[in-house]
Structure 1
Amino acid sequence: MGSFPLQRETDFRSFAPAPDRPGPSVVVGTSLPGNPLAPAAARNFVRAALAEWTELGVPAATGFTDRLADDSVLLVSELVTNAVVHAGTAVELLCRLDDAEPGESTGALVIEVSDHHPSRAVRSEQTRPASDTPEYGRGLYLVATLSESWGITYRPGTKTVWARLPVEGVQAVHEIESYASEQALQRGLRAAEILAPLPTRTPHDMEWVNRGALTFLAEASEMLAGQFDEDMVAALAGQLLVPRLADWCAVWLEDGSEGPVRGDPGAPGARLARVWHSSEHRMEELRRVLEKEPPRLPEAADSGAFPIPWPGEALAAGAGSSGAALAYRMAAGGRSLGTLVIGRAGLVRFADEVTGLVEDFTRRVALAISTARRYQRQANISQVLQRGLLPSKVAEIPGVESGLVYEPRDKGGPGGDFYDVFHASEGRWCFALGDVQGKGPEAAVVIGLARPWLRLLAREGYAVAEVMDRLNQLLLDDATEAADAAAAVVAVAGGQGVPPDGPTSRFLSLLYGELVPYEGGVRCTIACAGHPLPLLLSPDGEVREAATPQMLLGVVDDETYTSESFDLRAGETLLCVTDGVTERRSGRSQFDDGDGLAEALAGCAGLDAGLVAERIRRLVHEFSDRPPDDDLALLVLRAR
């Protein structure tokens, strides 16, 4: 039997006969990348290969049956889902038609899935191999125990799991007995159990089932734990269950998560977040039916499995005309989160092993959804808080361009850096750039105290140095009150533990200045308390420091601060940054080592304020391959 070339969008490739097996064969193959769409691509690949061989008149294709097609699609879906989706590896898939071997009356369809990750170890090994024993891939470890009836081939740097299916639909006697005795049950079990040739379940089989279930739950927990979007959790739930444990899956999420456990998909506020089916073309119709008639769960139903009617209208054609469907309530912390529904065609009821496994899996999905909702609530609160702590807009100053960059390290919450540019009085504008010790709520308290007081003192006519003096005293007084309150809490609690909030959380580095425009320039008065010094750029590229360093605010009582004044003339630029810029790290080096910030600013001569801000931001990001590990804020003021 010769080779038949195939040309399709999935990049089918024609191969010579397999090197490990004698005799002629027809082989097609493709590479599957490590992404969640790989199982669907693999199923399409197998279906297309069988159809193409039938069209081309390959002799062995005359023995193709619907059962063979279903088994091969289920088999490849199981292998690729385990290797690609759960283990994250990239694999190669080969399908080949072999002539009959000696002693056999039929040819065979052979499916091979190869894993090319020799450096990854099998995590479910009961005993660790010797340190000098190479391990050729972990991606297919869940089916590795089927080597007695399937096969595993090791080559340098590659591990291949293959299965051989008789083409003419005539199977060995022991396989026929197995299918006859467990036909209804096998449809609801894992692909490994469906295809297992043994007539009865041995202790070895049950040991594999138990170990496989624990591995599946462990990997599912790992995948779900990293998600902070409830819709993504629902999507992953469907992809993890289908087709491994079910033909289709649906997830309803309840918006009113604050109430008691209900778990009714038809309740007000419940929405169908995700529908997943092993046959992609049935998803939309299944969604329409489920949205129109969601399953109803009685009040007495607990978190276990509850049988529901089969959605026959959506699955009326073909093998999906009837089957078993189960609903599971999802709840965490006594709160209703939604409902998970699964279905498998051709079953009277699900096997107990599957029912219990999905129940455990549903608990993990519920916990992941609860975590995602808490994270989203916290992110929403933080965003609202951040909007309240920062100005809604930067004031426009006559004769001055401004450029601003503000990037909190925690994108969902308030950072320790803050800025402000505001109109103080007739002919006077003020600006501030600060950095609070700490992050999150602790920083928000200080920012919420400092920024309004800056505006109030400036508008009352206080000079720059006087504003710094009074803000320093305000922070010290507030820290003392916090310390007194903490001491009272400790006293009431009998001295057990010390509240984390204390005087040190009130430290503030601040760059504060006043601008008074005049004809031909701007008079700038500035004070720098524990903050990176501002830099002044002249039109010819010369850079110098524009202030002298002074003590942090909120550290020393009765500290007297001073200010400095200079003229910001047309074409001159004042750059103010926080330590997220100067202390940006790349290995042991910092961005400002060797006057790095001054050199970067010197290269910005002739640029307007917005371009200067953007160029410094870009240079800071490019300084290291790692993302910034601190808040980033910079303010550029340029006289026109």
Structure 2
Amino acid sequence: MGRELPGAAGSASVARGLVRSALAAWEVGAPTRDTMVLLVSELVTNAVVHAGTSVRLECRHEGDALLATVSDRYPGRTVAVRDDGRGRGLRLVRALSDEWGSSYRRDRKTVWFRLALASARSGPCAGRAEAVRPRGARRPEGPSALPRPAGAGGTAWAEHGAANPPAPANSRAAVGGSPDEAIARPHTEPPEALPTALARGARRRSGSARGGGHPAAGASPHVDAGWVTPGTVSFLAEASDLLTGQLDEDRVAALAGQLLVPRFADWCAVWLEDPDRGVPPRLARVWHHAEEQLDELRRRLASGPPATTRAADGGLNGHAVRWFPPFAEVPAAARGRSAVACRLIAGGRAVGTLALGRAGRDAIPDEVLRLVEDFARRVALSVVSARRYAQQATISQVLQRGLLPRGEAALPHTETAVVYEPVGENAYAGGDFYDVFRAGPDRWCFALGDVCGKGPEAAVVTGLARPVLRLLAREGYGVPGTLDRLNREVGEQTRFLSLVYGELVPRDPSVGGGLRCTVASAGHPPPLLREAGGAVRAAVTPQLLLGIDDHVHYESQTFTLAPGETLLCVTDGVTERRSGSRQFDDHDGLAAVFAECAGRDARGTAEHIRRAVHDFGTGEPTDDLALLVLRATGPGAPDTPAIRPLP
């Protein structure tokens, strides 16, 4: 039986009803049934009151025993049996169950217990008196993988509190570990050392100062002993997961403040700096639990990070140090204890400063200082990673932009439009490329290509093709001669390249105007020509890919692009866009969509085809998408930019 319950007051009543129904179906007797209902009710109530999250309840009948687990979404609040007269829930679980324990994972905390059925008990263990009933110790794996105790278990003990009884040698105690595993492991110390170890752990978990065994004066309600060990590890694991996913240093600073406030402090500030680049500390983020005080706090911290963090005791060692914040509202009782600052150190270099503080008389205990140091190291590493990513992204953007045309060529009496959509996050250029440029007084050239492959290797060929095309065209080589020479250059790179390349020469208006087009297609989807009447046909015949055979000779075809006619060039990202087993260009799909563009200008034609390609598939495109539209107009029509892509 399993059920997700809301974090509301009525959940305990609902849980009791569910357990009673399940036990009735399993025909469990009254004594065990009442005990089971009582313990489940106590655990659900604890989860609702102390965690405040939704609660997952599961009950199982396992042969001669009953198992119950109660999970909540607040692993930071650890389980503790209190012996101060408050909180009877876990004391009842400890006294009445045969076996119980707790486990912690990154996103949840689980408390479980097992009850042996009355028929499974014999001898002195059949009673419920705790003095004669053996109870097993907690296990790290959770209840589902645990065997029933063989009758010689140790005494169950709480993870926290100095009044807990010592654990026997074969018991397990909660210690630090992976947040994805239950935070427990067997003790490795000899039996005679365990009481000392437990007492030492109790002192640490009760708020002792460094070097002393007494709780820190003015212990804050923001954090208690429950945050140490599993709670601390859970918080740091959560922080690591969130911080490592940030690729911007300012986002890292913002997230750091959100994680610390109000959980550990009333306010938090992060300064970032980069000494290697001569960037002084800047206040990157300020966070306050009371938003109306945020602007005032930012103003008071604008002077710079705490000077104490630059001293010997808080320099490049990354230690958290106490400091007096630059505002007078802090009372004398908390002077020097209400704020903490820690340098953000990664790889022996400072990348900033983290500061946090509290208002009023609350002092920050030493446990939080140690936690801040661990947290600051994670923040510093995330800042460094974000800066490296930003640096690499900038280099990549500069290189990619260099693969695309930077100028604008205006063809006389011609409308032009380009759609260029490379695949990949933050990609500015891909394996597809285009170019439109002036090659002479009355000659313009255009190209649309696709390098076989992806990544830097493809970018090398892209970076080679455009300059070579421009150089050869301006040296006077025609379309066939240009492709012959480019073919040999591409072959030396051991890569393949498909390309549509053409030359445009305006025709005299006295003979009808328009453009004389000389075009060749090397292994590329053939360009389509839409006539003024709406008919669509292939303009040229495809030939061999560039880079396969150094000795091949390419041929071109010449035709007239009359006023009102449109030439369309696309890459295989358009023709091979998939929807299930179908491709966009199956059964001349591209030609059909192109025919629908009658009466549209170049930009309208490009946008209509782009939308049709995107609407054809169900997901994001998996290949670069590029198309070039050239539409001849009559004499006197305004010139338009040739290579400005559609927004």
- TM-score above 0.5: yes
Deviation at 1:136, TM superposition (A): 8.7
Alpha-carbon offset, residue 364 of structure 1: 1.7
Residue equivalent to 1:253: 272
1:239 partner SS: helix
Paired letter, 1:228: L
Say if 2:450 is the partner of 1:511: no
1:257–1:335 CA contact under 8 A, matched in 2: no
The answer to whether 1:271 aligns with 2:282 is yes
Residues 468 and 561 in structure 1, CA contact (< 8 A), matched pair in contact too? yes
- Specify which of 298, 304, 312 is matched with residue 287 of structure 1: 298
User: Over residues 121-155 of structure 1, what are the superposed CA-to-partner deviations in whole Å (9 max), with x where a residue is unaligned?
Assistant: 9xxxxxxxxxxx99998644444747984989xxx
Q: Quick one: which of 33, 54, 61 aligns to 1:115?
A: 54
Verify the 8 A CA contact 1:323 1:344 in the aligned structure 2.
no
Once residues 587 and 56 of structure 2 are traced to their aligned partners in structure 1, the CA distance between those partners, rounded to angstroms, is 44
Report the CA distance shift for 1:475/1:286 in structure 2 as closer, same or farther (over 3 A).
Answer: same
1:48-67 equivalence runs, <5 A: none
Tell me the CA shift for residue 566 of structure 1. Answer: 1.5
Q: Deviation of residue 323 (structure 1)?
A: 4.2
Decide whether the 8 Å contact of 2:449 with 2:571 is kept in 1.
yes
Question: Residues 525, 304 of structure 1: CA spacing in aligned structure 2 closer, same or farther, 3 A cutoff?
Answer: same
* Counterpart code for 1:241: L
What does residue 243 of structure 1 align with?
Answer: 262
**8 Å Cα contact 2:288-2:294 kept in structure 1:** yes
1:455-604 → structure 2 map (5 Å cutoff): 455-477=470-492, 479=493, 503=494, 506-518=495-507, 519=509, 520-604=513-597
Q: Does 1:298 align with 2:310?
A: yes
Q: Counterpart of 2:285 in structure 1: which amino acid?
A: R
Q: Tell me what 1:415 maps to.
A: 430
Q: Residue by residue, what CA displacement relative to the aligned partner does 1:523-570 show, whole Å, maximum 9, x if unpaired? A: 111111122221222234322222222222122221211111221122
Aligned counterparts of 2:578 and 2:311: Cα–Cα separation in 1 = 58
CA distance in 1, matches of 2:401, 2:328: 47
Q: Distance in 2 between matches of 1:583 and 1:117?
A: 48
- Name which of structure 1's ranges 232-241 and 137-146 shifts more when overlaid on structure 2: 137-146
Give SS of 1:539's match.
coil
What is the alpha-carbon root mean square deviation over aligned residues? 3.6
Aligned length: 456
Query: What corresponds to 1:44 in structure 2?
Result: none
Distance 1:583 1:116 in 2: 50
Offset, 1:457: 0.9
Give matches, 1:188-203, under 5 Å.
Answer: 190=223, 193=224
DSSP 3-state at the match of 1:269: strand
Match of 2:379 in 1: 365
Report if aligned partners of 1:251, 1:339 keep a CA contact under 8 Å in 2: yes
Q: Is the 8 A contact 1:303 1:330 kept in 2?
A: no
> Cα gap change, 1:547/1:218 in structure 2, threshold over 3 Å: closer, same or farther?
farther
Q: CA deviation at 1:298?
A: 2.9
**C-alpha contact 1:437 1:508 (8 A) present in aligned 2:** yes
Match for 2:220: what amino acid?
R
For the 8 Å contact 1:530–1:550, the answer to whether it is kept is yes
Match for residue 228 of structure 2? 209
Secondary structure of 1:389 counterpart: coil
Query: 8 Å contact 2:446–2:503 — kept in the other structure?
Result: yes
Aligned pair in 2 of structure 1 residues 370, 621: CA closer, same or farther (>3 Å)? farther
Q: CA offset at residue 637 of structure 1? A: 0.5
Aligned to 1:6: none
1:100-249 matches, within 5 Å, as 113-115=52-54, 139-143=73-77, 145=79, 149=87, 184=217, 186-187=219-220, 190=223, 193=224, 209-249=228-268
In 2, the alpha carbon distance for the partners of 1:280 and 1:151 equals: 38
Label 1:378 to 1:280 Cα distance change in 2 as closer, same or farther (>3 A). same
Deviations 1:193-228 (A, max 9, x none): 2xxxxxxx6xxx5xx732222222222222122211
Out of 312, 319, 323, the position equivalent to 1:309 is 323
Structure 2 Cα separation of the partners of residues 228 and 351 of structure 1? 32
Q: Contact 1:434 / 1:509 at 8 angstroms: preserved in 2?
A: yes
Instruction: Name the structure 2 match of 1:68.
Output: none
Aligned to 2:35: none
In structure 2, C-alpha distance between the alignment counterparts of 1:598 and 1:572, rounded to whole Å: 14
- 2:617 is aligned to 624
Is the deviation greater in 466-475 or in 546-555?
Answer: 546-555
**Take 1:448 and 1:276, find their aligned partners in 2: how far apart are those partners?**
47
* Cα separation, 1, equivalents of 2:583 and 2:274: 47
Indicate which of 380, 384, 390 corresponds to 2:398.
384
Q: Which moved more, 1:376-385 or 1:304-313?
A: 304-313
Question: Is 1:340 aligned to residue 279 of structure 2?
Answer: no
Higher mean alpha-carbon deviation, 544-553 vs 406-415, is at 406-415
CA distance in 2, matches of 1:241, 1:515: 64
Asked if the contact 1:113/1:160 (under 8 Å) is kept, the reply is no
What residue in structure 2 maps to residue 356 of structure 1? 370
Give the partner amino acid of 1:394: E
Is the CA contact 1:535–1:546 (under 8 Å) kept in the aligned structure 2?
A: yes
Relative to 1, partners in 2 of residues 1:269 and 1:543: Cα closer, same or farther, differing over 3 Å?
same
Q: CA deviation at 1:514?
A: 0.8
- Give, in angstroms, the shift of residue 347 of structure 1: 4.2
Q: 2: CA distance between counterparts of 1:250 and 1:412?
A: 34
- Secondary structure at the residue paired with 1:232? helix
How far apart in 1 are the matches of 2:387 and 2:327? 34
Q: Unaligned regions of 5+ residues in structure 2, if any?
A: 1-7, 15-47, 59-66, 91-107, 111-162, 164-205, 208-213, 634-647
Structure 1 residues 320 and 459: alpha-carbon distance in aligned structure 2, compared to 1, 3 A threshold:
farther
Q: Which amino acid aligns with 1:373?
A: R
Distance across 1 between alignment mates of 2:81 and 2:215: 21
- Counterpart Cα distance in 2 of 1:215 and 1:364: 14
Q: 1:464 to 1:270 in 2, by over 3 A?
A: same
* Partner Cα distance (1:554, 1:401) in 2: 32
Query: Within 1, Cα distance between the matches of 2:228 and 2:11?
Result: 33
1:614 alignment partner in structure 2: 607
The match for 2:463 is 448
Q: What TM-score does the superposition give when structure 1 sets the normalisation length?
A: 0.64
Contact 2:55 2:72 in 1 (8 A): no
Q: TM-score, length-normalised on structure 2? A: 0.63
Give the Cα separation in 1 of the matches to 2:333 and 2:612: 60
Ranges in structure 1 where 5+ consecutive residues have no aligned partner = 1-15, 23-108, 122-132, 153-158, 162-173, 194-200, 260-267, 480-502
Q: Deviation at 1:287?
A: 1.2
Distance 1:226 1:451, change over 3 A: same
Cα 1:116–1:563 change in 2 (3 A) is: farther
What letter corresponds to residue 417 of structure 2 in structure 1?
Answer: G
Letter in 2 for 1:462: Y
Give the deviation of 1:388 after TM superposition: 2.3
For 2:390 and 2:88, locate their aligned partners in 1 and report how far apart those are by CA, in whole Å.
46
Instruction: Please state if 1:427 is matched with 2:442.
Output: yes
Report how far residue 513 of structure 1 moved: 0.6
Distance 2:443 2:496 in 1: 28
Q: What SS is found at the alignment partner of 2:463? A: helix
Alpha-carbon distance, 1:454 to partner: 0.5
Task: Tell me by how many angstroms 1:413 deviates.
Answer: 4.7
Displacement after TM superposition at 1:582 (Å)? 2.0
Q: 2: distance between equivalents of 1:415 and 1:222? A: 31
- The question of whether the paired residues in 2 share the 8 Å contact of 1:431 and 1:512 is answered with yes
CA contact (8 A) 1:509 1:531 kept: yes
